[in-house]
Structure formats: C-alpha cells, structure tokens
Amino acid sequence: MGLTRRQALRVGLVTGAGAAVGGAALPPSRGAQAAAIGARTIPQFVTPLWIPPAMPIAGLWPLSYSVAARPIRQQVLPPGYPATPVFAYGSSLDPGTFHAPGYTIESVAFQPTEVTWINQLVDANDHFMPSLFPVDPTLHWANPAGGRGGRDTMPTFTTTPGPYAGPVPMVVHLHGSHVRQESDGYPEAWFLPHAANIPARYATSGSFYDSYRLKYADTYGFSWAPGSARSHYDNDQRATQLWYHDHALGLTRLNVRAGLHGMYIIRGGSTDLNLGQLPGPAPQPGDLPGMRYYEIPLILSDATFSSDGRMYLPSANAFGGGGPYVPDTDIPPIWSPVFFGSTITVNGNTWPYLDVEPRRYRFRLLNSSGVRPFVLKVVADPLAPRPVSPALPIWVIGSDGGLLSAPVSLGSGGLPMQPSERYDIIVDFTGLPVGTHLHLINEGGAATVGTTGSVMRFTVTPLASNDLSVPPDQLSGLLPALPAQPAATRTRRVSFSDVPSTFNPSVTARYLCGTVTPSGKASPRYWNDPVTELPAYGSTEIWEIYNYCPAVHVFHIHLVQFRLLGRRPLAAGASTAPASYETGHKDSVTAPGGQVTRVKATFDRRGRYVWHCHILDHEDNEMMRPWECR
Ligand SMILES: [Cu+2]
C-alpha cells in the first residue's frame, strides 16, 4: 500500500469514526451498493404533490429563521417502497419541519431576513453522519481531514484512496441574493457539525469561516456558534424566487442531491404585483391545515434509487475508463463528469400528482438537479412521440431575478430549464372538465419517454371558489418595467473549458473556468489561482462567456443579477438574441458549447464572490473561480 504515516492515521481515524456510527439510524452507504430499482417499475402519479409549507419564523425585527440540516428518512418513492435516507433542512425549533427539499423561506423586499444555518448532520448519539454518497477525496475540496493546514486543498495520495467517510462540511448559499460576502456562503466558509466525535486533527471549519465570523460580528454584533453560521439577507432586490442550497467546496453535488436545498421567496415592493392580481395564496407561516394554494413551488430534480430505498451515485468514476486513477494518473477515482438520475422527483417525490381546480395556477419552478436539463410542456399524453403539441400554453411571467415586463406564452418549443434556473409561470386550467388529466412532461435532451420524460400529472377537480386573478394575457400593463442598465465600461472575456486526462485523453479529468487570450484561445485557471476577475466597485461590465467545450455549461455568478445580451458562435457567425423568456433578470444562463454567451451586470458591492458552472458535478471539480470587487 505504501501509505505514509499521515495517511495511515487518516484512514485509521476515518475507519474508527465510521465504526462509531455503525449502530446509528442511518448507517453510511459504503461497501456493496444494492441494485438499482428499474425506473419503469415504479408506479407514477400515485403520490400527491408535497407543497412546501412556509418555514416557521424564529423571530421578528428582523425577520429571522433558524434552519438546521439533519439526516432523516423520507418516503420519496411511492408507498410500499422503503423510505429514503436524505439530508433535510428544517426549523431547528420544530423537528416536524425537516424535509428534502426544505420548507420555503418567506421574505419581504427591502426588509432584512436573518437565517442561522446549523450543521446537525449527526446521529442520536451526537456522532457525525458521513455523506449519503461516495465522497471523492482526490478533488480540490473542503478536505477537513487535512487539518487547518490542508483544508480546502487537493490532497496528495501515494495510492488510490477510497471514499472519505468523515463528517460532512456544509455552508449555505442563497442563490441569486444580493448580500455582503460574509453572508453569501463562500465555498471555503464551511463548517462541520459540532459533534462529539470529530477527530482532533480535523479542521472544523473552512479557510474563510473565521474571518467571515469576525466580519459578521463586527457588522451585526452577533458571533456564530460552533457548527453554525448566520446570514443577513438585505433583500434589497426585486421581488423574486431565490433558492438556498449547500455550496461546500467539492461536496455541493453530493449535499444538494442528498436534499439540502429549498426555495426562498421575496415578496412586495414596487417590483411585485398587488395581492390578488396573480394566482394565490402561497403557503405562509402559521397557515392552518386544509388551506388551498394556487401559488405552488415545483422543485424539479432527478435521482436513481437502490432497492433499499437509498439514492444512488456511482462509487467509481463512471467515465474513468476503468482507471488507473489518482495518483498513478490524473483521473479522479470516484467523481464522475455527470450523473443523470433515472427518475424525476418534484418537491421530493417521484412523479407526483396534483389535483387542480379549473382555474389559474402560479407555479414557481426550480431545476435543482445536478446536471439534467428540462424542457417543460403541459400535454394530454405523456407517452406521445416527441415533440408533443402542448395542450395548454405555459405563460412565463418571471425568471431568476424577478418578474418580466410582459408575459410570454410558450408554444411548441416548451420551457427549457438548466440546473439552478427558476421560472415563474402561470398555467390556466379554466374551463377544463372535471376528471381531465394533463401532464407536465420533459423533452430535455437526456429525457426518456415514460420515465425521465414524465414529470407530474394534473387532475382537474371541481372549482372551490371563483378565480379573481388577472388572466395572463392581460398582465402586460401590470407587470413592472425592467429598468435600463447603465452603459458598460468594460467587456471581460471568461471561458469554460475541459481538461482531458494526460493518461487517457478520452477521459475528462477536470473542468475549468478561466479567461481568454488576446488571440481568442482559452486561458484556463484553477480554483486557487490568483483572482483575475476584479470589476471596479459600481462599474457595469459585459461578460462574454466563451464555452470551448462541445457541450453546454451553465454560467452562474453570485451577488449580481444580469441581463442576457445574446449568443454567437465562437468562430465567426451571426448573434442570436435571447429567447423571449430570457429577457428579464437572470443569475444563471445556458452557455451552449462552441458559443459566446454575453451578459451585462452592475457590480455594486465590495467583496469576494464566485462564478461557476452550475452543473454540480463540474463546479465540484474546479469549474469555479473567485471574483472580487474592491
Ligand atoms: Cu459545466
């Protein structure tokens, strides 16, 4: 084996810790993995859609929440199947509120919200829980076992290591929010649970945790307790739907897939409509059971399940060419470039159904999957040959950063959604006979008719009350105008590229963000290279994202909402205007392979943030860069 003493110690510590949780409610998923459940054998449309309630409020003035991450079991598959171990957010004040995805956090525009985020990924004995999935320790990742000197690095190995089975770092990013850096959930500001059995030489927090803890205490007079962090969200942005999710370095794909994500909605102010103009209500804190909701979040993801109910990710690099791996080559042994689940989940259940009344519904859509692109349509027959003609139009009224200035009715093209994109839509079931079945389907590139090509079913039930909301085709004069952006003072060229293995060029070893040379070639950079994107405070810039890969990546930048200017081929060619539904405020956008995607934003806070590809498997293996506004 040739382990160094340091590595032998590490293995010994991890093995000992793993044994300590052997009798826990949720034993770690190591060793032999149970066989996958065939997606076609799982009954569809038998589970009612779970509608996320509003997160219970912990305090007022400022509005505050206390949200923990805990390991639970949840009935994700239909009744009769085993429950699924998940990592769930919930109110630390109420154990009944833990769910994956989490309850919705409600906020008010221009009024601050404070959330205390607590890592309680521990068992009943207060011993840490390992990840639900195989953790690749060879990436540049949080690496708590490296201690304070080796955290947030790519560790070196003398033999190919197995998965890390230690405590799980977490840090929460509110995706799309306009916040100070210490509240943004920087990937190196992670923290371990404050568990009883953390090995003494482990780092218990990431490289940025202590300095951000001090900054937060200086600004708000509150010191984060061990195993937690507090974020202060100013909500000084347009009314919209954000989402909170884990962002720990090199672990995001695992923690988000384990269940650590949920919706965060900002309401009110001059960029929202008046109560009653759009379909509602949405769940609010303190609602009594039995409420009928006409504004409903739909959080779309995918997963593969084993026969024991667990979610499955490969324990060996599915595209690794069979090895050899790190350290004999540059190929990660466990991480895979992409993973597509074999089933679709909505709000934490496979293929649910929703009884709808013949009236208008507002759906707040989020693609929370790791990599899967959706193209959504409402159709009569989910098994019809593709492309299917829509039975009802999808009316898009908002995107990542708030409402559009005019509604957009989508026809046969459907609504494309890459990971992390949100759309605010209206579907009008008015006039449909009771008993009608309609389906939300997926015509995205990787979809299979009958499984991942199906999303959920709508069944029309009798009308319970009159619909007083404004029909979507009459919203044009009511939706808020989109403000003009200042002129850009600089055009910045950044890049997405991949790194073929030097051992086996058909295998992708990493994905990188970087810059572009004057002659138009990729100049790739690693996560820990010096910061190259330094927009001046208050400046407006055009960012041109050069995607040198054949495949799509998803450009996401923290702090700012941008506007999409268009796309053009990397080589010479005509520019394509944004699609009608992409013309509003965005923080995540499709950057197609072989194209330059152009966006424009104003950098109006000082601090250090990140930009990255939002395909989770990519951002976890170097496809992320810091940027800084001074
Ligand atoms: Cu990517």
- Of 441, 474, 507, the domain-final residue: 474
Query: In 3-state terms, what secondary structure has residue 618?
Result: helix
CATH number at residue 497: 2.60.40.420
Distance 419 CA to ligand 1 centre (A): 10
Query: Whole domain around residue 435: which residue ranges?
Result: 343-474
Total domains in the chain come to 3
Residue 418 falls within a domain, yes or no? yes
Residue 282 falls within a domain, yes or no? no
Q: Answer yes or no: do 463 and 520 share one domain.
A: no
Distance 61 CA to ligand 1 centre (A): 40
How far apart (Å, rounded) are the C-alpha atoms in residues 154 and 241? 35
**Burial track 88-116 (b if 16+ CB lie within 10 A, e otherwise):** bbbbbeeeebbbbbbbbbbbbbebbbbbb
Asked if the peptide bond before residue 56 counts as cis, ω within 30 degrees of 0, the response is no
At residue 96, the pLDDT reads 97
Residue 314 falls within a domain, yes or no? no
55 pLDDT higher than 60: yes
Distance 370 CA to ligand 1 centre (A): 10
- Of 237, 272, 307, the domain-final residue: 272
Q: Answer yes or no: do 111 and 238 share one domain.
A: yes
- Chain-wide mean pLDDT for the chain? 94
- Tell me: the pLDDT tens digits for 160-205? 999 999 999 999 999 999 999 999 999 999 999 999 999 999 999 9
Distance 152 CA to ligand 1 centre (A): 21
Residue 195 falls within a domain, yes or no? yes
Q: Answer yes or no: do 349 and 448 share one domain.
A: yes
26 pLDDT higher than 80: no
75 pLDDT higher than 80: yes
Distance 554 CA to ligand 1 centre (A): 6
Q: Answer yes or no: do 142 and 249 share one domain.
A: yes
Q: Answer yes or no: do 590 and 500 share one domain.
A: yes
Q: How confident is the model at residue 521 (pLDDT cuts 50, 70, 90)?
A: very high
514 pLDDT higher than 90: yes
Query: Which tokens in the block code for residue 568?
Result: 């053009």
Q: Answer yes or no: do 257 and 113 share one domain.
A: yes
At residue 94, the pLDDT reads 97
- Of 418, 468, 452, 427, whose CA–CA distance to 597 is shortest? 418
- Note residues around ion ligand 1 (Cβ under 5 angstroms): 553, 613, 615, 618
Distance 594 CA to ligand 1 centre (A): 13
| Residues 380/443, Cβ–Cβ less than 8 Å | no
15 pLDDT higher than 70: no
- Of 246, 272, 298, the domain-final residue: 272
Query: In 3-state terms, what secondary structure has residue 54?
Result: strand
- Tell me: the pLDDT tens digits for 122-175? 999 999 999 999 999 999 999 999 999 999 999 999 999 999 999 999 999 999
- Tell me: the pLDDT tens digits for 258-304? 999 999 999 999 999 999 999 999 999 999 999 999 999 999 999 99
Phi, psi of 397 (to 5 degrees): -115, -10
- Of 251, 259, 273, 283, whose CA–CA distance to 106 is shortest? 283
Q: Answer yes or no: do 257 and 138 share one domain.
A: yes
Distance 222 CA to ligand 1 centre (A): 37
Distance 342 CA to ligand 1 centre (A): 20
Residue 46 falls within a domain, yes or no? no
24 pLDDT higher than 70: no
**pTM of the prediction?**
0.94
At residue 572, the pLDDT reads 84
- Of 219, 64, 234, 106, whose CA–CA distance to 604 is shortest? 234
Rounded percentage of the chain residues whose pLDDT exceeds 90: 93
Phi, psi of 175 (to 5 degrees): -70, 120
